[in-house]
Amino acid sequence: MHSNLHSRLSRFYFIYYFFVGAFVPYWGLYLKAEQFSPADIGILMSLFQISRIFAPNFWGWLADHTGKRAQWIKLTAFLGLCGFTAVFWAHGFYWLFFVMAALSLFTSSTLPLAESLTLAHLANTSGHYSRIRMWGSLGFIVASVVLGFLIDFSGIKSLLWFLLIVQMSLFILSYTLPDPKVVAHEHDHYSIWQVIKQPNVIVLLVGCALMVTAHGVLYNFYSIYLSDHGYSKGLIGLLWAVGVICEIGIFIGMPKIMAQYSLKTILLVSLALAVLRFSMIGFAVDNLLLLIFAQTLHAATFGSFHAASVEVISQFFSGRHQARGQAIYNSVAYGIGGTIGGVAGGYALQYLGGQQTFMLAAIFPFLGFLVIGLGLKLTKRPQETKGMFG
């Protein structure tokens, strides 16, 4: 892959996930400082997942229809920046609900568009998705660690200015992304619904949604849960970073793992380890060593699971359906799954407490294990396809 294109895409992923690394661990703590209840926080945080059900499909359709992915990334990045500036004036549940709903419509669409643009470039080159996506993980680590100590030092309000600067950087970087040439594919004559109706596609999407439901609880409430148990913001940031460091390790190793094991095996092992991880977060919150171990399992519960899922989705949705395929995966897994986990997690936290909430979250990857184990039939092994990880 051309090194200049590789570095432009890597920079964009770094800054996008820099925003995620600042937002996911600390936005719930900002809302808590604004005196919102866990149930209200669950609803507000889940606006980002709810918007992922609809918005990426609209932008994905536009990208596939016009063939101009880069221009829609610029527009969503610009509207995301405008939406975020309004947060400074939004106080009270309904104002913040309105502003976060508007903001989420655009920020939730930027990544699926960037993913489809990256995958389209990789189809024409010899690049590896994992080596680009790894820079996103690095961005998350730097943001979560730096911001944890910054908030301990200067207070939670500094989060708003930090996020504003990152949004501005993302908008500027969107102008460095070139449009790819979309290669015609043998299945281009199929309608998108013919692809979605395949039993394998349905099983994969349901399994992914169940995995992400548990992560919806994690992303919305892990920091609040740890803060309630006496952990400092700096230590919370470090625990988030542990998970993402392990995620980077798995991204680096994915080409070898995928050459060795079937995609179904990778998905099943990841789901089994998720059951262990969420159970441990529930029963071992006061044991720092076990919490660290649970965070290392992020390599499997997000890293290898996401890598294998994206690979399978790219086999089912190719050619002119690529942007919408990634959008549908994002909508069902992260939109529907994340919303269920985020909203239900808020009520569970309020009425059952944190430990029971995380132990209940472990049920969802267990169900996902059953769905994918019994229902997914893959004929191709990854090395028989032009995979983006290998």
Q: How far, in Å, CA of 74 to CA of 195, rounded? A: 29
**Which residue would you say has higher pLDDT here, 48 or 18?**
18
| Residue at 139 is within a domain | yes
Q: What is the pLDDT of residue 52?
A: 81
Token digits for 389? 């990880």
On whether the CB atoms of residues 331 and 57 are closer than 8 A, the answer is: yes
User: Is residue 167 predicted with pLDDT exceeding 60?
Assistant: yes
Q: What is the pLDDT of residue 113?
A: 80
Domain annotation covers residue 389: no
Domain-located, residue 234: yes
The number of residues in the chain equals 390
Give the contacts of 76 (CB within 8 A, at least 6 positions apart).
59, 106, 107, 109, 110, 113
Q: Is the pLDDT of residue 183 over 70?
A: no
Residue 358 pLDDT: 97
Residue 43 has pLDDT above 50, yes or no: yes
Q: Which residue has the higher pLDDT, 340 or 183?
A: 340
Q: Tell me, what's the pLDDT at 382?
A: 44
Mean pLDDT of 83-103: 88
The answer to whether residue 43 is domain-embedded is yes
Higher pLDDT, 117 or 183: 117
**Digit-coded pLDDT (tens) for 94-116:** 999 998 888 888 877 787 788 77
* CA–CA separation, 358 and 364 (whole Å): 11
User: What are the tens digits of pLDDT across the range 210-229?
Assistant: 999 999 999 999 999 999 99
- What are the residues whose beta carbons fall under 8 Å from the beta carbon of 280, sequence distance 6 or more? 290, 291, 293, 294
pLDDT over threshold 90, residue 381: no
User: Averaged over 28-57, what is the pLDDT?
Assistant: 89
Average pLDDT over residues 22-41: 92
Amino acid at residue number 5: L
Phi-psi bin for 231: left (phi > 0), alpha (psi -120 to 50), beta? beta
Asked if residue 241 has pLDDT above 80, the reply is: yes
Q: Tokens in use for 169? A: 């950087």
Report helix angle 338-352 to 199-228, nearest 10: 30
Least confidently predicted of 12-26, 250-264, 272-286, 319-333: 319-333
The residue type at 66: T
Query: How confident is residue 390, by pLDDT bands cut at 50, 70 and 90?
Result: very low
Q: Tell me if 197 is assigned to some domain.
A: yes
**CA–CA distance, 217 with 223 (Å, rounded to integer):** 11
Give the lowest-confidence range in 43-52, 126-135, 277-286, 381-390: 381-390
Contact between 144 and 92 under an 8 Å Cβ cutoff? The reply is no
| Residue 390, in any domain of the structure | no
Q: What average pLDDT does range 47-69 have in this prediction?
A: 79
For range 275-300, the mean pLDDT: 96
Q: What is the pLDDT of residues 343-373, one digit of tens each?
A: 999 999 999 999 999 999 999 999 999 999 9
* Structural domain for 83, as ranges: 3-180+187-384
CATH code, 168: 1.20.1250.20
For residue 1, the model assigns a pLDDT of 46
Q: What is the mean pLDDT of residues 314-325?
A: 68
Mean pLDDT for all residues in the chain: 86
253 assigned to some structural domain: yes
CA–CA separation, 76 vs 105, rounded Å? Answer: 9
158 pLDDT band, cuts 50/70/90, is very high
**pLDDT on residue 378:** 76
**Residue 58 lies inside a defined structural domain of this protein:** yes
Task: Name the pLDDT band for 255 (thresholds 50, 70, 90).
Answer: confident
Tell me the average pLDDT across 33-53: 90
Number of compact structural domains in the chain: 1
Across 124-133, 198-207, 240-249, 336-345, least confident range: 124-133
pLDDT of amino acid 127: 58
Q: What is the pLDDT of residue 132?
A: 84
Please give the pLDDT value at position 323. Answer: 64
- Cα separation values, 282 from 132, 207, 220, 286, 358, Å: 33, 22, 15, 10, 5
- Long-range (24+ apart) CB contacts under 8 A made by 190-195 are 190/321, 192/317, 192/321, 192/324, 192/328, 195/316, 195/317, 195/321, 195/325
Under the banding of pLDDT at 50, 70 and 90, the label for residue 286 is very high
pLDDT at position 388 is: 42
